[in-house]
């Protein structure tokens, strides 16, 4: 299992990993991909788009359902993962690694309510039904 100490999570099941140099990767959690089932495609923003923290930036569609995606932090999209666009199953197979969705140039302070890995695990357990 990946070392998740650098990851922070939202209550809408996205993660953000800040590289400490002003940029961050964004993806969805292992719990999210497991709940969704096989990802069939991702609706993601274009490079250059500006996202606000907590704003809806796209959707992930699986056999089971379509689920909106919300940005953990505010920033400008500097890269979209072409690998997941071509092979959406990467999100299921490696949600914290090769299944990353966006790279952002972070703007503004991170929201105060992001969870660390342990907090997110507790939240996800309580949240699931």
Name the site residues for other proteins (rule: CB under 8 A).
37-38, 40-41, 43, 61, 63, 66, 89, 92
CB nearer other proteins, residue 7 or residue 96: 96
Token couple for 82 = 């072409």
Interatomic CA distance for residues 91 and 14, integer angstroms: 12
Q: Identify which of 68, 81, 65 has the alpha carbon closest to the alpha carbon of residue 26.
A: 81
Query: Looking at beta carbons only, is 53 or 60 nearer to other proteins?
Result: 60
Question: Smallest distance, Å, CB 90 to other proteins?
Answer: 12
Least CB distance to other proteins at residue 35 (A): 10
**CA pair distance 122, 110, nearest whole angstrom:** 21
Contact 27, 15 (CB under 8 A): yes
Toward other proteins, which CB reaches closer, 40 or 78? 40
In the complex, the smallest distance separating the C-beta of residue 63 from other proteins, rounded to whole angstroms, is 5
Query: Least distance from C-beta 91 to other proteins, angstroms?
Result: 12
Query: Which of 66, 118 has the CB closer to other proteins?
Result: 66
Read out DSSP for 44-109?
-PPTT-EE-TT-EEEEEEESS-EEEEE-SS-EEEEEE-HHHHH-THHHHH-TTTTT--EEEEE-SP
């Amino acid at each position: 299992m990946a070392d998740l100490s650098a990851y922070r999570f939202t209550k809408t099941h996205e993660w953000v990993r800040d590289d400490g140099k002003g940029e961050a990767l964004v993806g969805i959690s292992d719990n999210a991909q497991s709940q969704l089932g096989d990802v069939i495609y991702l609706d993601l923003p274009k490079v250059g788009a500006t996202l606000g923290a907590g704003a809806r930036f796209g959707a992930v569609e699986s056999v089971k359902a379509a689920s909106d995606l919300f940005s953990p932090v505010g920033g400008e999209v500097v890269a979209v993962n072409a690998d997941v666009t071509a092979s959406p199953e990467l999100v299921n197979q490696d949600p914290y690694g090769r299944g990353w969705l966006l790279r952002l140039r972070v703007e503004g302070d991170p929201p105060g309510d992001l969870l660390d890995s342990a907090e997110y695990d507790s939240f996800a357990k309580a949240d699931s039904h």
